[in-house]
Amino acid sequence: MSSQTAGLVLTLGAVETFPTAAAVSAGSLLSLTGVTKVYDAGELAVTALAGVDLEIERGQMVAVIGPSGSGKSTLMHILGCLDAPSEGTYVLDGQDVSTLSSFALAGVRNRKIGFVFQTFNLLPKASLLRNIELPLLYAGLGSSDRREKAREALARVGLADRAKHRPSELSGGQRQRAAIARALVNGPSIILADEPTGNLDSKTGVEILKIFHELHDRGETIVIVTHDPRIAEQCERVIEIVDGRVVN
């Protein structure tokens, strides 16, 4: 690739990847209207979400809490475009994503959503760098651009010197930091964290939360699903789900 085209890709990437940071003024990032999710298991249809109305503003740090079976995981899946609502609409970043095909949803996940999982979900046989490159790979970026962005993201979570290491050579906290770097690397509109401290000791958990706070301070929108009230009280807004409904 010539240096000229490389530069072009980089510029495009920069424009595309950080639209949510401070430059964009606060406003509604996503809105759910009457979202219902029914799992149809033959005669026993299960209603996981029963008409959820919800708006999340840009730059907010939100906790979603609720007992198990309350439907908070389902809400998380719909917010993350892993699943489509049975009824209702979901508008993310100005785009109605509730009726998209699974192929289109994959693209939305790739560009707009950064996932952080409880179990980190890093590829065990791949280096950290390659793990973090994955979302960029699915975005169709060339290898030199990928490497550069992945290194930047690693540096942001303080793991610049671990690029060549495999996940198994790292501590739990370091793995979750790497996972956060992976969530950030594509410049998503929203970071969705599912019990991000669930597999960590409390001290490491605090460390991870500190990173989320830093990201929040820089204008990222963060949604953390948790059942830990201590985490929830650190967020500026708490959404409680009970029996498939938002109760507060």
Partner 1 sequence: MKKHLASLWESVVDGVVDIGSHRARSLLQVVGIVLGVASVVATFGLIDGGKRQMTEFFDKTGGIRKMFIRNLDTRQARESATQKSSKGLTYEDAMVLAREARTLELVEPTVERRELVRAPGFEKSLEISGATPAYQPMYDFRPVEGRFITQEDLTASAKVVVLGATRKDEIFGGGSALGRSLSLGGSTYTVVGVMERKEFFWNSANDNSLEWMNRFVFVPVTTMLNRLSGDRTGQKVAYINVQALSAAEMDRSTAEVETILRRLHGGVQDFEVINRAERMKQMEEQGAIYDITFLVCGTISLLVGGIVIMNILLASFNERVREVGTRKALGATGLNIMAQFLVESVVVTILGGLLGVALGAGFTKAISDLIQQPVVLSPRIVLLGLSFSVAVGIFFGFYPAIKAARLNPIQALRYE
d(CA 135, CA 155): 17
Q: Site residues for partner 1, window 164-183 (CB under 8 A)? A: 182
32, β-bridge pairs:
54, 90
Q: Site residues for partner 1, window 142-161 (CB under 8 A)? A: 142-143
∠ CA 203-205-207, rounded to 5°: 75
Quick one: tokens of 1?
């690739």
Quick one: tokens of 183?
């969530």
Q: How far is the CB of 138 from partner 1 (least distance, A)?
A: 4
x/- mask, partner 1, residues 96-125, rule CB under 8 A, reads ------xx--xx-xxx---x-x---x-x-x
H-run or E-run covering 104: helix 102-112
Q: How far is the CB of 241 from partner 1 (least distance, A)?
A: 17
Q: Which stretch binds partner 1 (CB under 8 A): 74-82, 88-96, 152-160, 203-211?
A: 74-82
Among 52, 141, 159, 235, binds partner 1 (CB under 8 A): 141
Establish if 205 lies at the interface with partner 1 (CB under 8 A). Answer: no
d(CA 220, CA 212): 9
- What sign does the dihedral 237-190-215-170 (CA atoms) show? positive
Nearest CA to 139 among 17, 37, 6?
A: 17
Quick one: tokens of 15?
């424009």
Query: Is residue 98 classed as helix, strand or coil in its secondary structure?
Result: coil
Establish if 83 lies at the interface with partner 1 (CB under 8 A). Answer: yes
Among 72, 77, 156, 177, binds partner 1 (CB under 8 A): 77
- Which CB sits closer to partner 1, 24 or 84? 84
- Which CB sits closer to partner 1, 130 or 156? 130
Q: Using CB under 8 A, list all residues that contact partner 1.
A: 77, 80, 82-83, 102-103, 106-107, 109-111, 115, 117, 121, 123, 125-126, 130, 134-135, 137-143, 182, 186
